[in-house]
Amino acid sequence: MGYDLWYWSGIPGRGEFVRLALEAAGIPYREKTGRGDGDAALVKDLAKSRPDPPFAPPYLVVEEGLVISQTANILLYLGEKHPRIAPRELAGRHWVHQLQLTLMDWVAESHDVHHPVGMDLYYEDQKPEACRRAEGFRSKRLPKFLGYFERVLAQRGDWLAGGKRWSYVDLSLFHVVEGLRFAFPRRMAILAPDFRRVLALHDSVQALPELQDYLASERRLAFSDGLFRHYPELDGED
């Protein structure tokens, strides 16, 4: 029956990094929330007593007694099990894992722009701090992360692992670019000419034949109030 994927319903969130890999590789999985049992079921499942409890979603139930959490760790596991989505040799596997961890750092920073003070507070209660945080994110951190991936692609070619085929981390970079374009459309448009390789990778992933069904389907959720959020006051040209 394949894997059970647990994540919050209604938002792509970190679950999307896992979903994209499963979908592009044609790996069977069951979505346990949103289109399935709902968030209440997730809360209940998280509270379940098990030897390897996840701290937070996303997590993948592989079988009874084998639950994998932490997005980059899930992808590392999938890459081991499904050879088409990650390099085969040890150095290559750790290279894409390292890039995935860097992407997850970037994602966490993107989230903290709209929640710089506390995850348990509303955005409206931390708006001045968010505006301040957004300035530094737009002017320094966005170009720094984009520049890093641009440099990697300049050395490796079309895909982050090198070679002629995508790996799961290319799918994740695609999704980060999508999220950032949603959250910071003005800034991303200004930066675009300096990051042509990253944007070319984004377009290549978007055009992958193995992703077309998924990208056009209702399974692909729109951005809203998840990790990547669009608040016009947090965006800007510089």
Ligand X SMILES: N[C@@H](CCC(=O)N[C@@H](CS)C(=O)NCC(=O)O)C(=O)O
Of the candidate residues 70, 102, 126, 204, the single one contacting ligand X (CB under 6 A) = 70
- Distance from C-alpha of 54 to C-alpha of 77, rounded to nearest angstrom: 15
According to the binding rule CB under 6 A, does residue 56 interact with ligand X? yes
**229 and 11 Cβ atoms separated by less than 8 Å:** no
| CA distance between the termini of the chain | 49
* CB 18, min distance to ligand X, A: 9
Whichever of 13 and 79 has its CB closer to ligand X, that residue is 13
Q: Is 124 exposed, middle or buried (0-12, 13-18, 19+ CB in 10 A)?
A: exposed
Footprint of ligand X on 20-39 (CB under 6 A):
none
* CB 7, min distance to ligand X, A: 7
Footprint of ligand X on 98-117 (CB under 6 A):
104
According to the binding rule CB under 6 A, does residue 19 interact with ligand X? no
Q: Helices 168-183 & 90-114, crossing angle to 10 degrees? A: 10
Whichever of 197 and 230 has its CB closer to ligand X, that residue is 230
CB atoms within 10 A of CB 123: 15
According to the binding rule CB under 6 A, does residue 71 interact with ligand X? yes
Cis status, amide bond into 58, omega within 30 of 0: yes
According to the binding rule CB under 6 A, does residue 175 interact with ligand X? no
Whichever of 11 and 199 has its CB closer to ligand X, that residue is 11
Q: Report CA dihedral (72, 6, 79, 103) to the nearest 10 degrees.
A: -30
Q: Are strands 3-6 and 29-31 parallel, antiparallel or unpaired?
A: parallel
The pair of structure tokens assigned to 12 is: 């792509």
According to the binding rule CB under 6 A, does residue 14 interact with ligand X? yes
* CB 37, min distance to ligand X, A: 16
Choose the binding region for ligand X from 24-32, 51-59, 83-91, 198-206 (rule: CB under 6 A). 51-59
According to the binding rule CB under 6 A, does residue 79 interact with ligand X? no
Choose the binding region for ligand X from 55-63, 159-167, 189-197, 199-207 (rule: CB under 6 A). 55-63
Of the candidate residues 12, 57, 87, 116, the single one contacting ligand X (CB under 6 A) = 57
**151 and 201 Cβ atoms separated by less than 8 Å:** no
Residues at the site binding ligand X, with contacts judged by CB under 6 A:
13-14, 56-58, 70-71, 104
